[in-house]
Amino acid sequence: MSGVAGQLFAGLSLGSILLLAALGLSLTFGQMGVINMAHGEFVMAGAFTAYVVQQVISDAGVSLLLSIPLGFVVGGLLGVLLEATLIRRMYHRPMDTLLVTFGVSLILQQVARDVFGAPSVAVAAPAWLSGSLRLGTVELPVGRLFILGLAAVCVAALAVCMRYTVLGRRLRATVQNRDLAETLGISTRRSDRTTFFIGSGLAGVAGVALTLVGSTSPTLGTGYIVDAFLVVVAGGIGQIKGTVLAAFGLGLLQATLEYSTTASIAKVLVFIAVVAFLQVRPNGIYAVRSRSLA
Amino acid sequence: MNILTERPNAGASRWAGAIPASVFVVLALALLVGAPQVLSSFRLSLLARFCCYAMVALGIGLAWGRGGMLTLGQGLFFGLGAYLMAMHLKLADAGQGQVPDFMLLYGDGKVPGWWEPFRSPILTLVAIPLVPGLVALILGLAVFKRRVKGAYFTILSQALAAAFAIFLVGQQTTTGGTNGLNGFRSFFGYALNDPVNKATLYYIAAATLLVMIAGMWFLYRSRYNELLIAVRDGEERVRFLGYDPANVKVFAYVVAAVLAGIGGALFVPIAGIISPADVGVLPSIGFLIGVAIGGRHTLLGPVLGTIGVAAAQNTLSESFPSFWTYFQGALFIVVVAFLPGGLAQLTGTLRRRRPASTASAAAHNPTPARESTG
């Protein structure tokens, strides 16, 4: 029984990491249709923010709590910079955006390599995250629980922001009908930029969280970007709940398959499962119905 | 008259269809006669490697430039062809009934069952185009029949390359893991360290590339080409006209995969190694940059662009490795954002100013074709 519960927790934990990495993408890719390959490097920037903050403030707990908002701002600012300089010109060419942002991601990686060095660095986790909670016969590492909680907070904050605030209403209006939103006096330029700020900021938060489960290196983001895109695709474009379901679904699947096979075969099987799933639901879990032929 | 018998939306398609044969002849002479005269055997072997990349690029030009399918996973097909060839070379080196060296080192000293067929050279040569083609066929049918397209397809193809590389890394005992397969001694009975055989390998690669270009030239002049472009520009319209766009796309995807597989197979004896680092996400995207720079809509653009970029990378990354990464990133940004037609766009802009009927005749005439108004 403890095996199953342990599997379940491993899956949920992996799912929460995937979710953090994919949540920002569900905004920039899902809502705006921008394929931002540099998203992984925003994650990496968040992780290095945590590293830098810890160099300044040696207390691990304070630095972690401070890193989360700072990582959000760093990721967000990078995103806005990218949007304002390049992506703004290319909204009508989504495929080309992919290649351009890949170029950006190459450059950001090299910048990180030149600044921090190619070997990975470690960010110390605070003492209160190092133990584990005992629940019946299952050991739950507190660090993993913290990430799970952080993911839940991010999803809740994003959902509330999109649904109940003026800002969220403007962002949704812009996505749903750009021209009509404009005639109602909404600055769609500003909406785009804000959406990109939030989406990229969430990547930064994900980066801070990732320092708790592994070391930080300039190539940190490349390991997550493919999975994060898969989550958004499987979840369905433009729906936060789809992304949440897909992240935990893929996390659980990966953890279960890893248990019975090896990590690499599990990865391949997860991919095949996504392709098979898209056979049944080509637009992901939650598809926005439309009659458009585009 | 329907949309398919007219040349739709000339621009891109016209100047590619009118690629003058003379450029091809110049390229053929340069590759087969010029390069072996001028280059040292080391440089010649590098050029042979670039020719293999160019085969992949040629296929990407068809799938992406013509078909609008941005495939980020050509590393998979390149890798399939390469690993098939590498398996055969390993088995041939080991000798009849013997076990390749790395398996003795890491594994249980037995050859796995799925390796055995590739002892046969003929079967290997058949499998090299067949396996990537079949994989692409199955994937293509699964994806395109369900009308998964655009960004979804791109992300799936990328995930595929990533999964393949991860799979290879995990199979230390049967695929060599991170090290990949290397240390080949002979190629179908010919010693690989013999300089004459090395030069022969170059000729094989260059000739294969030229044959592929010629084949693609015929494909680009066929009605299929018009159909593919029509699918790219208005998939639903083509569907309403009674065609199945999925079949059109699958064909292009399969051709691209076969070209990549053959390129990969030739890459192995030339480079002497194939490892997961050659087939994953990064090399798969790397294949695109040459295509983008050369001009994705054109026949020769992807080939020339890829050889050019690979040569530049080789020269620059030797002396300034960090600078090369910045340069490569900047290339992606500048070319794709500001010059989406690649360098061919520059010549194309000049050519499009002239009436279509004289475009091909005037194409290699550097002076403005003022006489062509009639």
Q: Which residues in B lie closer than 8 A to residue A109 (C-beta atoms)?
A: 325
pLDDT of residue B153: 86
Q: In angstroms, how far is CA A141 from the centroid of its own chain?
A: 22
A102-114: average pLDDT: 91
pLDDT of residue A288: 61
> Which among A106, A265, A282 has CB closest to B325?
A106
Q: In angstroms, how far is CA B201 from the centroid of its own chain?
A: 18
Residue of B57 and B295 predicted with greater confidence: B57
pLDDT of residue A289: 58
Chain length of chain B: 374
Q: Which residue from B minimizes the CA distance to A294?
A: B236
pLDDT grade for B348, boundaries at 50, 70 and 90:
low
> Which among A95, A100, A279 has CB closest to B146?
A279
The predicted-structure confidence for A255-291, as pLDDT tens digits, reads as follows 888 888 887 788 888 888 887 887 777 777 776 655 5
Q: Which residue from B minimizes the CA distance to A269?
A: B163
The predicted-structure confidence for B155-205, as pLDDT tens digits, reads as follows 888 888 888 888 888 877 778 888 888 888 888 878 887 888 888 899 999
Residue of B301 and B134 predicted with greater confidence: B134
Q: Would the pLDDT of B374 be above 50? A: no
pLDDT of residue B349: 58
For A165, the token pair is 């605030």
pLDDT grade for B13, boundaries at 50, 70 and 90:
very low
B329:A106 CB<8 A: yes
B325:A109 CB<8 A: yes
Q: Would the pLDDT of B16 be above 70? A: no
Residue of B368 and B100 predicted with greater confidence: B100
Contacts of B8 (CB under 8 A, 6+ apart): B226, B229, B230, B233
A268:B163 CB<8 A: yes
For A92, the token pair is 């009508």
pLDDT grade for A173, boundaries at 50, 70 and 90:
confident
pLDDT of residue A202: 93
pLDDT grade for B19, boundaries at 50, 70 and 90:
low
The predicted-structure confidence for B268-288, as pLDDT tens digits, reads as follows 999 888 988 889 888 888 888
**3-class DSSP assignment, residue A138:** strand
Q: Which residues in A lie closer than 8 A to residue B340 (C-beta atoms)?
A: 93, 96
- The secondary structure element, H or E, covering residue A135 is strand A132-135
> Which among A109, A264, A282 has CB closest to B147?
A282
**CB pairs below 8 Å between A and B: how many?**
119
How close B216 comes to chain A (CA, Å)?
24
A49-57: average pLDDT: 90
Long-range contacts, stretch B362-365, CB < 8 angstroms, 24+ apart: B363/B15, B363/B18, B363/B19, B363/B20, B364/B20, B364/B22, B364/B23
Q: Compute the distance between CA of residue B101 and CA of residue B181 in angstroms, rounded to an integer.
A: 10
Q: In angstroms, how far is CA A13 from the centroid of its own chain?
A: 14
A241-264: average pLDDT: 87
Beta bridge partner(s), residue A141: A132
pLDDT grade for B42, boundaries at 50, 70 and 90:
confident
pLDDT grade for A68, boundaries at 50, 70 and 90:
very high
pLDDT of residue B1: 36
A104-111: average pLDDT: 92
Q: Which residues in A lie closer than 8 A to residue B345 (C-beta atoms)?
A: none
How close B69 comes to chain A (CA, Å)?
9
Q: Are A204 and A46 in contact (CB under 8 A)?
A: yes
A193-222: average pLDDT: 90
pLDDT of residue A120: 85
Q: Would the pLDDT of B110 be above 80? A: no
pTM, 2 dp? 0.84
B334-345: average pLDDT: 78
Give the lowest-confidence range in A211-220, B90-99, B158-167. B90-99
Q: Which residues in B lie closer than 8 A to residue A268 (C-beta atoms)?
A: 163-164, 166-167
Q: Which residues in B lie closer than 8 A to residue A110 (C-beta atoms)?
A: 322, 325-326, 329
Q: Would the pLDDT of A43 be above 90? A: yes
pLDDT grade for A79, boundaries at 50, 70 and 90:
very high
Chain A residues at the B interface, defined by Cβ less than 8 Å, are 29, 33, 35, 86, 89-90, 93-96, 98-100, 102-107, 109-110, 113-114, 222, 226, 229-230, 233, 262-265, 267-268, 270-271, 274-275, 278-279, 282, 293
Q: Would the pLDDT of A236 be above 50? A: yes
Nearest residue to B180 (alpha-carbon basis) of B58, B296, B271, B308: B271
pLDDT of residue B81: 94
Give the lowest-confidence range in B51-65, B144-158, B248-262. B144-158
How close A106 comes to chain B (CA, Å)?
5
Q: Would the pLDDT of B362 be above 50? A: no
Nearest residue to B282 (alpha-carbon basis) of A7, A106, A83: A106
Could you state, in order of their start, the residue ranges of all structural domains in chain B?
11-355
Residue of A261 and A184 predicted with greater confidence: A184
Domains (range + CATH), chain A: 2-280 (1.10.3470)
> Which among B282, B292, B325 has CB closest to A99?
B292
The predicted-structure confidence for B75-85, as pLDDT tens digits, reads as follows 999 999 999 99
Q: Which residue from A minimizes the CA distance to B236?
A: A293
pLDDT grade for A74, boundaries at 50, 70 and 90:
very high
Q: Would the pLDDT of A6 be above 90? A: no
Burial B207-226 (b: 16+ CB within 10 A, else e): ebbbebbeebbebbeeeebb
Q: Would the pLDDT of B319 be above 90? A: no
Q: Mean pLDDT for chain B?
A: 81
Q: Are A272 and B142 in contact (CB under 8 A)?
A: no
DSSP state of B243: -
Q: Mean pLDDT for chain A?
A: 86
A146-161: average pLDDT: 92
pLDDT grade for A3, boundaries at 50, 70 and 90:
confident
Q: Compute the distance between CA of residue A282 and CA of residue B277 in angstroms, rounded to an integer.
A: 31
> Which among A109, A233, A279 has CB closest to B152?
A233
B332:A99 CB<8 A: yes
pLDDT of residue B27: 86
